[in-house]
Amino acid sequence: MPRAIVLNPADNVATLLDAGQAGEACALEGERQGRLVLLQDVPFGHKICIADTVEGETIVKYGQVIGRASCAVRAGEHMHVHNIESARARGDLQKG
Amino acid sequence: MTTTFLGYPRENGAVGVRNWVAVVSVMDNCNPVTRTIARTVGGCIPVTTLFVRGQFGADLDFAFESLAGLGRNPNIAAVLLVGLEESSTEEVARRIRSTGKPVERVHLQPDGTVACIAEGTRKATRLSLAASNARRVPCPVSSLVIGVECGGSDTTSGLSCNPVIGRMADMVVAGGGTVIISETSEFIGAEHLFAERAADGRVREAFVTAVRNMENLAISRGVDMREDQPSPDNKRGGLTTVEEKALGAMAKAGTSPLVGVLRYGEAPQKKGLHFMDAPAAAVENLTALAAGGCQLTFFGTGVGNPIGSMVAPTVKVCGNVNTLHTMADNIDFDVSGILQNGDKIADLGEQLFGYAMDVASGTRLTSEVLDIRETAVSRFALSL
């Protein structure tokens, strides 16, 4: 079973320590225990959502903000650049 | 735990972990001669550069000072400067002589390439023979200045190699040594946590200002920094945002208080953990750290970046089990047991500290043996 590590109790993402496939259950380790079914294939080292998230919600890893959800995401979905966006150093948002 | 290493004491009290003669280009047009001499004479390394010719004002001063910093590095027993003409060569020589080490010069003008190579080869030969008389003696950890850096990062970096480097860094500081973390753009999103560790308000303000200036640079250019930070290979390795990358990168600095903020290539004046304001790209950053006097650099990598510093040997530390298979030739220290077997960061940190003492005593690294080494002094203004 692929392992997914949760680094801080406040986190809403976990990092996969093994590649996982859609429909497969992964084992949550670290600061949260349990199982979660993957809704998509997820590569080694990529993140999954561990709590249903609404658009604009803060994404937390290490107990710290790493960005915000750019759309609604369900627990078990792959979380990466397609549904998390950085809030920092965004010169593109300054264009008039 | 060994807390001494075998190093080369220098005239100015600094200690080298290597004993090279550096053949240093004073400007870009000298690089072919520099490479030829360094290739011909045993015990030499080539320190090449780009530009300098045409740089002016503060930017030229910065270029001279950075090249001189590489020459002053305690790993360098003696320096042969390869210049185009005398005045610029003397400007760099003057800044290295303060160390008391031998500094020789050769010039391309007026006799041309072949004569310059011949004269340089003779001078480098004499310097190399003399340097070989140096002997390693036991030296304390407090004489080490260690650079910590990361590249080719992925999500394993923040969970394994960077925290292990941080643990080792804490042991270096506890032993009275100095650690420098840099890569300003890679603090964006984690600077609030690092700023809390500043020893006083002045250090805190200098650090926060450096990171804010970097973020404002990205904003003022109107670019979406997400295209480059995290880089495409970082993203392939699972890193999503600069904030996430920064939180993992910061782990390299361990837990010591931040006692000083340095300019690019500036040498620390006291012991303990420092931050150097310098670009994050590996070759530029390793060059800045070596110019600031780091004798050793520790480089955490996830998806793999093989490059090492020419002047400050670069220990490649990796915790990604896949990279350890595909890029085994480029990794010096394996910490994949953390994610594969539940090995403890503290245990591997102590092992890395022991390995650091070995490397400081002469154990060679992949990037040295394979000569995967490069130098790049940054340039911050347009040339004439």
Task: Return the domain boundaries, chain B.
Answer: 20-131, 140-374
For A62, which of B185, B215, B247 is closest by C-beta distance? Answer: B247
The pLDDT of residue B218 is 84
Tell me which amino acid residue B221 is. R
Alpha-carbon distances of B294 from A15, B274, B349, B354, rounded to whole Å: 34, 12, 20, 18
Domain boundaries, chain A: 3-94
pLDDT tier for residue B227 given thresholds of 50, 70 and 90? confident
The pLDDT of residue B228 is 76
Which CATH superfamily groups domain B20-131? Response regulator (3.40.50.2300)
pLDDT tier for residue A92 given thresholds of 50, 70 and 90? confident
The pLDDT of residue A87 is 84
In the predicted model, is pLDDT for residue A75 greater than 50? yes
Percentage of chain B beyond pLDDT 90 is 95
For B154, which of A7, A45, A89 is closest by C-beta distance? Answer: A45
Please answer yes or no on whether A92 and B190 come within 8 Å at the CB atom.
Answer: no
Tell me which amino acid residue B375 is. T
Cis peptide before B232 (omega within 30 of 0): no
In the predicted model, is pLDDT for residue B246 greater than 90? yes
Average pLDDT, chain B: 96
> Which ipTM was obtained for this model?
0.95
Taking CB atoms and an 8 Å cutoff, what residues of chain B touch A17?
339
Segment B243-267 mean pLDDT: 97
Give CA–CA dist B187/B185, Å, rounded.
5
pLDDT tier for residue B169 given thresholds of 50, 70 and 90? very high
Give CA–CA dist B222/A82, Å, rounded.
21
Please answer yes or no on whether A91 and B238 come within 8 Å at the CB atom.
Answer: no
pLDDT digits (tens, 9 = 90+) for B143-157: 999 999 999 999 999
The pLDDT of residue B346 is 97
Strand A58-61 to strand A64-69: parallel, antiparallel, or no bridges (unpaired)? Answer: antiparallel
The pLDDT of residue A94 is 66
Segment A18-41 mean pLDDT: 97
Architecture of the CATH domain A3-94:
Roll (2.30)
Segment B319-347 mean pLDDT: 97
A47 touches chain B (CB under 8 A): yes
Nearest CA in chain A to B216: A89
Segment B168-175 mean pLDDT: 98
pLDDT digits (tens, 9 = 90+) for B16-62: 999 999 999 999 999 999 999 999 999 999 999 999 999 999 999 99
Segment B325-347 mean pLDDT: 97
In the predicted model, is pLDDT for residue B177 greater than 80? yes
Residue in the structure block whose two tokens are 């690089």: B31
Strand A47-49 to strand A78-79: parallel, antiparallel, or no bridges (unpaired)? Answer: antiparallel
Segment B95-100 mean pLDDT: 97
A27 touches chain B (CB under 8 A): no
Whether B322 and B328 have beta carbons less than 8 Å apart is answered as no
A96 touches chain B (CB under 8 A): no
* Contacts of residue B349, Cβ cutoff 8 Å, sequence gap at least 6: B163, B164, B165, B166, B167, B168, B170, B171
In the predicted model, is pLDDT for residue A96 greater than 50? no
Segment B248-272 mean pLDDT: 97
Closest CA to B300 of B338, B271, B267: B338
Residue in the structure block whose two tokens are 């190399």: B128
For B242, which of A46, A86, A91 is closest by C-beta distance? Answer: A86
Give CA–CA dist B39/B201, Å, rounded.
49
Which residues make beta-bridge pairs with B148? B181, B298
